[in-house]
Amino acid sequence: MGYTTMCKWMIAALLATASCSVLAGQLLVSAASSLTNAFREAASVYQAQHPGVAVVLNFAASGVLLQQLDKGAPVDVLASADQQTMDLAQQRGLVGARSDFARNSLVVIVPLPQANPGQLALRRLADLGQGGITRVAIGNPTIVPAGRYAHHALQAAKLDLQTKTIQTQNVRQALDYVARGEVDAGFVYRTDAALMPDKVKVAFEVPQAGAIRYPIAASKHGPNAAEAARFIDFIVSPAGQAIFARHGFLKP
């Protein structure tokens, strides 16, 4: 059974029965969708270094991961794509001390090949308001940090795209919509855009008031506290940081 499939089964069982028996040697890591590829590699390397440990990965929007943890999911480690989600987790007593381990940037992407280059010549946020742009994929700001970052940027630019917005449940869904040409543009992280260079093109980077930093923390109620601490140490170590650099993330 794959990492994600196994974890979905565990989470579903927990939320259905309000109890879950985690097997010895399993470490359940909940990570933001934009971390999927990097964390899969990190988990593989970690398991090779620590035989007997099975890292089970659960990917979703950061807000969804918080909801799962809040409902009692047997999560050992939480890695979110924003500070706000981790702030809430700490305020609710769900996680302990945190560490920033990566940094990213938000971009607007358009599909390739461009069927109408003139219409989709986007260089700044204001260009999304032009009449030829009718559908823009943006993550649900209540649960998706990328959507929240986009929402703040649009507010700062005094640009209202409500009638054009196609709301997504995570940042990878926004990427897929653009890649399939189902929308004219979308807000994703630069690391996501780099996954499909043959299907999407970065139009411009979205200005942000502050850096987009990813924090990681161990759950206070996770069944494998010692292993969680060791995994986090690996993520912030030079070896772990090298993995994130290969996937396009910047140092925190």
Contacts of 125 (CB under 8 A, 6+ apart): 108, 153, 154, 157, 159, 206, 207
pLDDT at 24: 57
- As averages over each run of 10 residues, the pLDDT of the chain (252 residues) reads 46 42 76 98 97 95 97 97 98 97 98 62 93 95 97 96 96 97 97 96 95 97 95 98 98 92
Domain ranges across the chain:
3-103+211-246, 106-205
Joined tokens for residue 65: 């991961």
Q: Are 235 and 76 in contact (CB under 8 A)?
A: no
The residues pairing with 85 across neighbouring beta strands, listed in sequence order, are none
Measured distance CA(211)–CA(214) in Å, rounded: 10
Mapped to the 3 state alphabet, what secondary structure does the chain carry? CCHHHHHHHHHHHHHHHCCCCCCCCEEEEEEEHHHHHHHHHHHHHHHHHCCCCEEEEEEECHHHHHHHHHCCCCCCEEECCCHHHHHHHHHCCCEEEEEEEEEECEEEEEECCCCCCCCCCCCCHHHHHCCCCCCEEEECCCCCHHHHHHHHHHHHCCCCCCCCEEEECCHHHHHHHHHCCCCCEEEEEHHHHCCCCCCEEEEEECCCCCCEEEEEEEECCCCCHHHHHHHHHHHHCHHHHHHHHHCCCECC
Same-fold call for 3-103+211-246 versus 106-205: yes
- Judge: domain 3-103+211-246, CATH 3.40.190.10: yes
Cα dihedral 177, 181, 183, 186 in deg (nearest 10): 60
Specify the pairing of strand 200-205 against strand 106-111: antiparallel
Q: What is the pLDDT of residue 196?
A: 96
As a whole number of angstroms, the distance between CA 166 and CA 186 comes to 9
Residue 13's pLDDT is what?
Answer: 46
- pLDDT value of residue 106: 98
Q: Is residue 165 within 8 Å of residue 138, measured between CB atoms?
A: yes
Q: How many CB atoms lie within 10 A of CB 229?
A: 15
Q: Which CATH class is domain 106-205?
A: alpha beta
Alpha-carbon distance values, 137 to 23, 45, 109, 123, 251 (Å):
39, 34, 10, 17, 27
pLDDT of the residue at 1:
43
Q: What is the pTM of this model?
A: 0.88
Pairing type for strands 185-189 and 136-139 reads parallel
